[in-house]
Structure 1
């Protein structure tokens, strides 16, 4: 756990190697310190051959107000570790990471830092899996850094992308859950509630410029394999969001799963769904 003023958040995180994995503090391209951890792949049970290759790693991007140590993300990491090594991290403004949340804008740099770290550890194939806000981040990251390899951003690209419970467009207020979220993000009182009650520190400035929308990002991801997952009980984003993403994506390299009974993001993702997503990733890794 980390505590103290915002300036002490990153300094109070300790880089170490433990029996259960490896922890590190990463520095983003724009100078924010990000806490991260690597969980090794769990040895598969005795049975037929076909274990995933050791060079595959899954980088998990949590939803808004999540963090590396939150139980839902740890549960997802444990499920995916049955298929590959897993890297988790806390976005800026969350957990022990420094900075303040920009609610999906500059967080692309946090994911890029985690992907670079994964490759520095020897993983040749990187799958990015994002939930909700993290789902929009993995889409924009794949679009920007896939093209950006030609611009000198070597090592930050994803080879496989999974977006779970993500919005298709910005500023959506069509559900009660999203209206509450907009109050938290845009009002001083809401940001205070977020900092004290949700342990999430939010930047007080509007986006300038407005980042590339998820729908505009998905056509730029091909030929990278992309899986879009959404629940028919999602209280934040109704089904027009995943359908908009699928309509904009390359159908040759993109799959859409509409999951009956599934709610929203990592908090609602059960073992069976996480297992199927892990299998999909491993088959392409």
Structure 2
């Protein structure tokens, strides 16, 4: 896995809306370090932002230049309703970048189910920073939750806070029925056909080589950036030993929220929880 700089970011400019004077959303394709086009959306959020390159006010709040970069779960994409709902809540706390991982939605390439996806996130983070945001918080769900952990460890200093929701602690876990079904989807030719035509997700046929750093091995490398681990006590994919392993590896720079009654990832994260995550990130990234 390369931990080099993200690829060339597609040219885009943030222009104020002539009616409101505020910046409007941008949709563009970014190019990763290995040449994959990534469908991406920037929303300046509900707060009032400085235009990129301007001199910030000395007394502005932490939220005013904070940007959330959201990493969705496997089979999601930037247009899925649950991804848009996450972005809609977080935009009340800062700007938001959402994107489709490779092999998902309109992005190019094929999914490697958490390996090369770290390059997709790196391109999105680099884009957010190029738009003038000095505080970046990454928020990942399930597969995206593992990606934000590895990205922060491989690219120290590029993010100010990390939130990992419903993530695995270790690779190749097959201890639950949903994960056994997922492994069939990823490893079998007929499963990949179901992924392509039934779930709009194009999955790479090659095995990992080399096997990427696991989430739990990545966590110690995230410090000093603060880390929030969120997991539901009714998660059908990964039982509670996964978040507890991550929290133990994080030590003093990590925080664990076990959410009563919550299931798995974006679909199970209600608006109240997402708002709490936004508030945590504003404080942590300050």
Give TM-score scaled by structure 1 length.
0.87
CA offset at residue 50 of structure 1? 8.6
Give per-residue Cα distances to partners, 1:77-96, cap 9 Å, x unaligned.
00000000000000000011
**Which residue of structure 1 aligns with residue 178 of structure 2?**
177
CA contact 1:16–1:23 (8 Å) conserved in 2: no
**Which residue of structure 1 aligns with residue 32 of structure 2?**
28
1:227 corresponds to 2:225 = no
**Which residue of structure 1 aligns with residue 67 of structure 2?**
57
Query: Taking structure 1 as reference, are residues 16 and 190 closer, same or farther at Cα in structure 2, changes over 3 Å only?
Result: farther
Query: Using the alignment, how far apart are the partners of 1:241 and 1:53 within structure 2?
Result: 31
CA offset at residue 279 of structure 1? 0.4
Please state whether the residue corresponding to 1:171 is helix, strand or coil: coil
**Which residue of structure 2 aligns with residue 262 of structure 1?**
262
Alignment of 1:231-250 (within 5 A): 231-249=232-250
Give per-residue Cα distances to partners, 1:184-209, cap 9 Å, x unaligned.
00000000000000000000000000
Please state whether the residue corresponding to 1:196 is helix, strand or coil: helix
CA offset at residue 64 of structure 1? 0.1
Please state whether the residue corresponding to 1:67 is helix, strand or coil: coil
Query: Using the alignment, how far apart are the partners of 1:16 and 1:64 within structure 2?
Result: 30
Please state whether the residue corresponding to 1:79 is helix, strand or coil: helix
CA offset at residue 159 of structure 1? 1.4
How many residues align? The count is 259
CA offset at residue 54 of structure 1? 2.0
CA offset at residue 17 of structure 1? 7.2
Query: Taking structure 1 as reference, are residues 16 and 35 closer, same or farther at Cα in structure 2, changes over 3 Å only?
Result: farther
Query: Using the alignment, how far apart are the partners of 2:93 and 2:232 within structure 1?
Result: 23
**Which residue of structure 2 aligns with residue 134 of structure 1?**
144
**Which residue of structure 2 aligns with residue 12 of structure 1?**
none
Alignment of 1:94-243 (within 5 A): 94-146=104-156, 157-243=158-244
Give TM-score scaled by structure 2 length.
0.87
Query: Taking structure 1 as reference, are residues 180 and 16 closer, same or farther at Cα in structure 2, changes over 3 Å only?
Result: farther
C-alpha RMSD over aligned residues: 2.0
Which ranges in structure 1 are unaligned for 5 or more consecutive residues? 1-14, 150-156
After the TM superposition, list the runs of 4 or more consecutive aligned residues in structure 1 that deviate by more than 4 angstroms: 15-20, 49-52
Which ranges in structure 2 are unaligned for 5 or more consecutive residues? 1-11, 18-23, 49-58
CA offset at residue 284 of structure 1? 2.0
Give per-residue Cα distances to partners, 1:45-64, cap 9 Å, x unaligned.
xxxx9964321100000000
CA offset at residue 41 of structure 1? 1.4
Query: Using the alignment, how far apart are the partners of 2:150 and 2:40 within structure 1?
Result: 20
